[in-house]
Amino acid sequence: MQQTGTKTIWQVIMASSAGTLIEWYDFYIFGSLSAIISEKFFPPSNPELAYIATLATFAVGFIVRPFGAIVFGRLGDLVGRKYTFLLTLLIMGGSTFAIGLIPSYDTIGVLAPMLVLILRLLQGLALGGEYGGAATYVAEHSPNHRRGYYTSFIQTTATLGLFVSLAVILITRSVMTPADFNNYGWRVPFLLSVLLVIMSYYIRIRLQESPLFIQMKKEGKTSANPIKESFGNKENLKLVLIALFGAAMGQGVVWYTGQFYALSFLQKTMNIEFVQSNIIIALALLLGTPLFIYFGSLSDRIGRKKIMLAGMLIAALAYYPIYKAMDTIGDVKQKTKLTELYKIESNQSKNDAGQFVQHTTKVHTYSDGSVLRISEGKPELTVNNTRMAMLVFLIFVQVVFVTMVYAPIAAFLVEMFPTRIRYTSMSLPYHIGNGVFGGLLPTISTILVTKTGNHLAGLIYPIAVAVICFAIGLVYIKDNKGADL
């Protein structure tokens, strides 16, 4: 393949990563603020149903990602990688900014959730076209023996995007009262995204097209119908299915369990206080992110398959004991048994209509310094530093699994498919694996918990999918590390 100079490859990585990070940031603010969004945009009569509806709306953005992969993948294989992911960036940024402007359910009624749903659909379509373009673009600039290493920087952007979204939310929350944040401050992270998008667009517009694509176009070898070649050709369709059920499906559930399900478990099951739960996730992500680079580089030496499948299997075996340990640390059972030991706190805050409302909070301080507050029937636990460190460690272990399955997958998918249909072919299995199997995880797990009454029942889904994917990948995946593109 055509080699790219060291200076050029780092420019390519920085520009591609910056845009992809911002798109993930845009996509994940919704998930990070799902508890508040359920209160603002859905009917208040049934909070549990409103939260499930919010998760379902969040999941819709994932479900439509495969359609975005087909639409923008085709465009990327016909027109070029660069202009396609410029378009996806603008669609994503505009949709995110618009979510921050939507009036609440109290103001415009059912129109609020309808508008949110439409904008989530646009976000999902845009993200469906973004990742494949960025990964393909970087891979086609990389030397064969360093492809896993260079593409692993793209892999960090999803986790870093979540990390940045949490950081922006925490900073916004820290500069205003909880009541102000709940009333209007939650909109700030959505509105800020427009500045990040403009900056990223400026960086990306200056990039050159992929050298492999330019050469192929010059020789007249681009595909006339990438969709037909990708999915109408029996041999290529077989590769697409192996990529999906032997790699991307398991990678998707491991990714979302280690980050989004972990956050949901902290907030909704363990009732850990909002700021503290986000700090726990952010610290675990910060500690784990360098491992994306490590496992990406390792895959250049020992192959992609071994690392990805090992991550799936270890995750499936470890999830139940990890979440059982988290459950114990949170001391969930004690939350309803200490009512006689509470002291009472009272304060006022403004509601959405600007009226002052009196709030009464029951407060119990544990002997180890952890504090439980119950306001309007909702428990909120702030754990002590020791328990917090234990939770950070347990989620960090899950992030290790994430880095194992996710770091090599861009190079793995790129190496499976020919240049003329690569954008389309690799994007679809990746986004079905992540968008459908991974994106539905919070919703399916929440429904399992609700139906069974067992707050660990949500783990059944990711464990089952990871085991099935491991078995299929073990039999059918062939490692093509370092192959010519």
Asked, for residue 232, whether it belongs to a domain, the answer is no
Give the Cα separation of 204 and 194 in Å (integer).
Answer: 15
Tell me the average confidence (pLDDT) per consecutive run of 10 residues in the chain, 485 residues long. 60 80 76 80 76 75 84 82 81 88 88 88 84 81 89 86 84 86 89 85 77 78 80 89 96 91 88 89 91 96 96 98 91 50 59 58 77 77 90 97 95 89 86 86 85 91 97 92 71
* Contact status, residue 359 vs residue 373, Cβ threshold 8 Å: no
Tell me if 454 is assigned to some domain.
yes
CA dihedral in degrees (197, 201, 204, 206; nearest 10)?
-150
In a domain, 484, yes or no: no
Helix (H) or strand (E) holding 350: strand 343-350
Concatenated DSSP letters of 221-268? -S-S-HHHHHHTSHHHHHHHHHHIIIIIHHHHHHHHIIIIIHHHIIII
d(CA 299, CA 308): 9
Going 362 to 366 to 369 to 370, the CA torsion angle's sign is negative
For residues 325 and 377, membership in a common domain is answered with no
Same domain for 367 and 305: no
The answer to whether residues 105 and 6 belong to one domain is: yes
Q: What is the CATH number of the domain that holds 20?
A: 1.20.1250.20
Residue 151 · residue 130 · CB < 8 Å:
no
Residues 347 and 286 in one domain: no
Same domain, 12 and 110: yes
What global pTM score does this model have?
0.82
The verdict on residue 231 lying in a domain is no
How many domains does one find in the chain?
Answer: 3
Q: Is the dihedral of CA 462, 467, 472, 478 positive or negative?
A: positive
- The Cα 439–Cα 412 span in angstroms is 21
Closest CA relative to residue 458, chosen from 470, 435, 440: 440
Of the candidates 309, 223, 328, the residue with the CA atom closest to the CA atom of residue 269: 328
Residues 329 and 361 grouped into a single domain: no
- Judge if 294 and 185 occupy the same domain: no
What is the C-alpha separation between 334 and 257, in angstroms, rounded? 26
Evaluate the CA torsion angle 209, 211, 213, 219 in order and state its sign: positive
**C-alpha neighbours within 13 Å on the C-beta side of residue 416:** 34
Q: Within this chain, do residues 168 and 50 fall inside the same structural domain, yes or no?
A: yes
Find the domain containing 454 and state its range: 239-334+383-478
Q: Of 161, 196, 222, which closes a domain?
A: 222
φ/ψ of 370, rounded to 5, equals -70, 150
Phi, psi of 161 (to 5 degrees): -60, -40
Domain shared by 212 and 307, yes or no: no
Task: Compute the residue count for the chain.
Answer: 485
Helix 34-41 to helix 111-139 angle (10° resolution) is: 150
* Domain identity same for 249 and 358: no
Report residue 141 CA to chain centroid gap: 26
Q: Among residues 307, 265, 300, 284, which one has the least CA distance to residue 458?
A: 265
Mark whether 288 and 325 lie in a shared domain: yes
The verdict on 73 and 118 lying in the same domain is: yes
Reduced to 3 states (helix: H, G, I; strand: E, B; else coil), residue 277 is helix
Determine the pLDDT at residue 144: 87
Spatial separation of the C-alpha atoms in residues 426 and 433, rounded to whole Å = 11
Q: Is residue 230 part of a domain?
A: no
The C-alpha R_g of the chain, in whole angstroms, comes to 23
In a domain, 106, yes or no: yes
Asked whether the beta carbons of 116 and 41 are under 8 A apart, the reply is yes
Q: Within a domain: residue 234?
A: no
Structure tokens, 34: 């799902």
**CA 77 vs CA 3, 142, 416: distances in Å:** 21, 18, 16
Tokens of 425: 């072919």
